[in-house]
Amino acid sequence: MKAISILGASSNSGKSWFATALCAWLRRKGVRVAPFKAQNMSNNSFVTWDGGEIGRAQAVQAEAAGLLPTTEMNPILLKPSGSLGSQLVVLGKAQGHVKAADYYEKIEELWPVVTSCLERWKQRCDVLVIEGAGSPVELNLMDRDMANLRPITYLDGRWLLVADIERGGVFAQIVGTSELMPRQLSSKGLGVVVNKFHGDLSLFSEAGALLRERVSLPYLGVLPFRADLQPESEDSLCREAEEQITSGEKMAWIRFPHLSNSQDIQPWLRDQGLSVCWASQANHLDDARIIVLPGTKDTIADLRWMRETGLAEAIIQASRSGVPVVGICGGLQMLGESLSDPEGQAGEAAHVAGLGLLPVKTVFRRDKEVRQVNAHWNNDEWLAYEIHMGRTEGAPAAVRAPLLHVKEDGEWKAEGWRSGKVWGSYLHGLFESASLREDLAQLGGLTAFRAAPGNWREHLQSVYHGMADLLDAHLDLKPLWHYVAD
């Protein structure tokens, strides 16, 4: 097995994007390729077929590689959880919360989990594409960094550096990272790629010559930024997650401080006749025809934030005036009558009133619900999943008004709640159904709305193919291919 690590000259340089594109490119060449990230820090997560939890970036990369996501693609996941530190997920299972200092003391205990996964991948693929984290040469962290240089050293792999020109100072990023790379790994570099270029590529034509004067790392080329080739972002705090579409009537998504699974917005970004925006102030909801409360990693804290900002009252008033309000996961919990966390399992121990828009109550317990299901709406059936602390209960099943139905273990079950124009669901991926989006748009009176044609999963496959095409068109990947084919 060959191993190629995608390292970044900075955070948010496009490592996840490039690893996804490389998986698609290698797959197209007939290579058995798989993605891997030893340790991920993200609240955007995915449920694997066996009920484990991994970062969504590796799930996307698996899809580009033509594989089902597994927990061995991301053995360590840290989910920032406000005052609790981060929830530690090991091989897909939550192991409680840890503070940063305590986590670093666990590095040597967790490293064998990583190496056991690496050993298993040796038997199952030709190339392992390993995504790094942040910068690989943070001098104060290198001795306890599991995601960047340690896997390369363990596998005697190679690395490729991705630099973000959008941030400015791209030459300093590349030269500085190259100079700080440990000597024993300097010769393992396959090349450097400049990413996210906007404008006329000819203006960067001298880059290769300038870099050759200063670093021995081969220059592979520059990639233009393509807004239509962004499957999703790993980090809910980055600019891509804040994308807004302004071509019609407004749909507002609440921008929680502890926002999670922000990718639930993405199917709407292809549709026509609506304006999709993120709201962090009450006046951002002015003229909104639909309001969505997405997931959050600290539900009670973010509910308090909504009350402090006036968003909570604005949502209640909008609902009373007939605006559809949808809550997903933590957003569903907030729409209920009360939220109780007596032991502080999901944040600060507390009992608070919800927004009172759904007849349900949520109690947080130690256990965590993690599962995949097949969702059904009208004639659409698609894969969705749940990841949440807390159990939500309402009226007895006999009189419950479910939002939709899901199939689990061969049985159809009610999922979510509906009360008038208020919808609540635990399903991430809820909006992948074009039929569901059309019905919600009609409920909100979006007269010019048109759902994008085609299946969402098929659309993503076309995006992966386009990403591979972009690599072919703009990069010299011969050094990488010589390593793979040797």
Would you please indicate which residues are annotated as catalytic (active-site) residues?
Answer: 329, 428
- What tokens does 307 get? 């009350």
Secondary structure of residue 460 in the 3-state scheme: helix
Q: How far is CA 68 from the centre of its chain?
A: 16
Please say whether the beta carbons of 149 and 110 come within 8 A.
no
Compute the distance between CA of residue 258 and CA of residue 88 in angstroms, rounded to an integer.
16
Alpha helices in 29-140 (DSSP H): 56-65, 100-104, 107-122
The DSSP element (H or E) to which 310 belongs, if any, is: none
What single-letter DSSP state applies at residue 130? E
Compute the distance between CA of residue 234 and CA of residue 429 in angstroms, rounded to an integer.
15
Please say whether the beta carbons of 53 and 69 come within 8 A.
no
**CB-based contacts of 205: which residues, under 8 Å, 6+ apart?**
none
Beta strand segments in 360-453, E: 361-377, 380-393, 404-408, 411-415, 417-419, 422-425
**CB-based contacts of 285: which residues, under 8 Å, 6+ apart?**
252, 279, 291, 311, 314, 315, 318
Please say whether the beta carbons of 244 and 278 come within 8 A.
yes
Amino acid (one-letter) located at 190: L
Compute the distance between CA of residue 407 and CA of residue 388 in angstroms, rounded to an integer.
18
Compute the distance between CA of residue 179 and CA of residue 137 in angstroms, rounded to an integer.
9
CB atoms within 10 A of CB 230: 17
Please say whether the beta carbons of 246 and 286 come within 8 A.
no
Q: How deeply is 168 buried, as exposed, middle or buried, from its count of CB atoms within 10 A (0-12, 13-18, 19+)?
A: exposed
Beta partners for residue 79, in sequence order:
87
The DSSP element (H or E) to which 261 belongs, if any, is: none
Compute the distance between CA of residue 318 and CA of residue 104 in angstroms, rounded to an integer.
46
Compute the distance between CA of residue 129 and CA of residue 19 in angstroms, rounded to an integer.
7
- What tokens does 119 get? 């050993």
Secondary structure of residue 464 in the 3-state scheme: helix
